Structure 1
Amino acid sequence: MRELNYPKVFLFLAGLSLATLAVYYVVSLRTDTYFSFLIWNLFLAWIPFLFSMAAYELDKRRVWGLLLVPLGIAWLLFFPNSPYIMTDLVHLSGGKGKYIAGGTIQSRYWYDLVTLLLFTWSGWLTGFFSLYQFQSVIYRKSSLLLSWVFVVVACALGGYGVLLGRVYRLNSWDVLTDRHQLYQLVLDSLNRQSVFFSLFIAFVLLVIYATMYFLLNGLSTRERGPHPKRRRV
């Protein structure tokens, strides 16, 4: 499993987020600030990356391993916020009056669509890089197989978290502040439709993450030394 330069990853993700905010700002000047909630959602998508970066650095410095457990739990609670941004595309369906006039799609539709897609792209990349970071920690401590078991479990919980967030309007911190509501929502969500939705999202997350993993590892080539000099005949 290829080790990444995470300071550079951090700067890359920060630059991507700043570019996303710049696009939102330009679009909001031409339209309005209806999608301002995306800024908060992007901030929430950054939280799991901060947890994974802390866990990665602690493991790299060989700090007490038990500290990784609470960081891992906190990461799992906030990780669904990254893929959750995708579901904000639903807000495009409620604006037919401002998007279609005289049977023609207005330019605002494309502005809002691109803004939503860019926020989704930024949130997903940030979340997937945090998942890659935690997989690296588990890989160093165990094996590649167990690290992929963690990835599958994380994607499954991520899919379920998206369900709880979008359908049942549950926040990550509600686990700590309202456990009774959480328990009731879990019971309500145990039905065929919810399970299928969660597994569907989990499969999509796994496919996209596996694609990123392959691009980072499968397409890299080993550095070769200088070619040996040919002997003169």
Structure 2
Amino acid sequence: MKELNYPKVFMLLAALSLATLAVYRVISLRTDTYYAFLIWNLFLAWIPFMFSMTVYQLDKWKIGGFLLLPLCAAWLLFFPNAPYIMTDLLHLTIRNKRYIVEGEVLSRYWYDLTMLLLFTWSAWMTGFFSLYQIQSVIYRKSNLLLSWIFVLAACGLGGYGVLLGRVYRLNSWDILTDRHQLYKLMVDSLNRQSVFFSLFITFVLLVIYATLYSFLNARGKKS
């Protein structure tokens, strides 16, 4: 795997998020602040990246030891927040009466669509770079095959997490604050439709991450 310059990656992702917030600000001034919740969702997408940065640096500095496992567990818990933001595109349908008047699509629809796609792109890039960091750590400690097995498992969790978040309205921190409800919803989610939905999202995440991975490793020396 190619070793990345993560301070530079951090700055690029931060710039992307700031540009996304700037677009939101401009559009909200022209329309309304209905999509303000996207700011919180983008913040949640940054949490796994902060955990992965910590894990990556501690491992690189050969310190941390026993701290790496709980930090990786915390990363795994919050990782689904990154792909979840894609499902906020649902609000374009919820608000369709504001976008289509007498059969004509208003320009605000295109503003909001572009903004939602930019939020999704920002969250996904932040989440996928965090996955790349964790995979790099596992690769250094084992081998490439095991690192990809972890990627598969993480994307599977991401797909299932999107299901729990959007369909069952579960939050990442409910595993700590309401484990009884978490268990109940997990049991309820064991049905054919939910399994297919989770596998479908998992496949999409794998395709996009594999594309990003291929671009990152197309040139350069292996770490």
Question: With structure 2 as the length reference, what TM-score do the two structures score?
Answer: 0.98
2:132 is matched with which residue? 132
Mapped partners of 2:199, 2:173: distance in 1: 23
Matched AA of 1:208? I
- RMSD between aligned residues: 0.8
Q: CA deviation at 1:66?
A: 1.8
1:57 is matched with which residue? 57
Mapping for residues 166-181 of structure 1, pairs under 5 Å:
166-181=166-181
Q: Deviations over 1:82-136 (max 9, x none)?
A: 0000000000001121101121100000000001000000000000000000000
Uncovered stretches (5+) of structure 1, i.e. residues with no partner: 223-233
- SS of residue matched to 2:138: helix
2:105 is matched with which residue? 105
Structure number with higher relative contact order (C-alpha < 8 Å, ≥ 6 residues apart):
2
- Are positions 1:30 and 2:30 aligned together? yes
Mapped partners of 2:63, 2:140: distance in 1: 14
Mapped partners of 2:187, 2:148: distance in 1: 29
Instruction: Say which one has the larger Rg.
Output: 1
1:40 is matched with which residue? 40
Q: CA deviation at 1:154?
A: 0.1
Mapped partners of 2:102, 2:165: distance in 1: 36
2:84 is matched with which residue? 84
Q: CA deviation at 1:142?
A: 0.3
Query: Would you say how many aligned residue pairs link Structure 1 and Structure 2?
Result: 221
1:152 is matched with which residue? 152
- Are positions 1:213 and 2:207 aligned together? no
Matched AA of 1:213? Y
- SS of residue matched to 2:63: coil
Matched AA of 1:53? M
Q: CA deviation at 1:65?
A: 2.4
| 8 Å CA contact 2:2, 2:220 repeated in 1 | no
- SS of residue matched to 2:171: coil
Mapped partners of 2:127, 2:64: distance in 1: 25
Question: With structure 1 as the length reference, what TM-score do the two structures score?
Answer: 0.94
Uncovered stretches (5+) of structure 2, i.e. residues with no partner: none
Matched AA of 1:86? M
Mapped partners of 1:95, 1:73: distance in 2: 37
Mapped partners of 1:221, 1:152: distance in 2: 24
Mapped partners of 1:191, 1:89: distance in 2: 25
Matched AA of 1:82? A
- SS of residue matched to 2:140: helix
Mapped partners of 1:96, 1:183: distance in 2: 35
2:75 is matched with which residue? 75
Mapped partners of 1:102, 1:185: distance in 2: 41
How much identity, in percent, do the aligned residues show? 75
Q: Deviations over 1:144-201 (max 9, x none)?
A: 0000000000000000000000000000000000000000011000111100000000
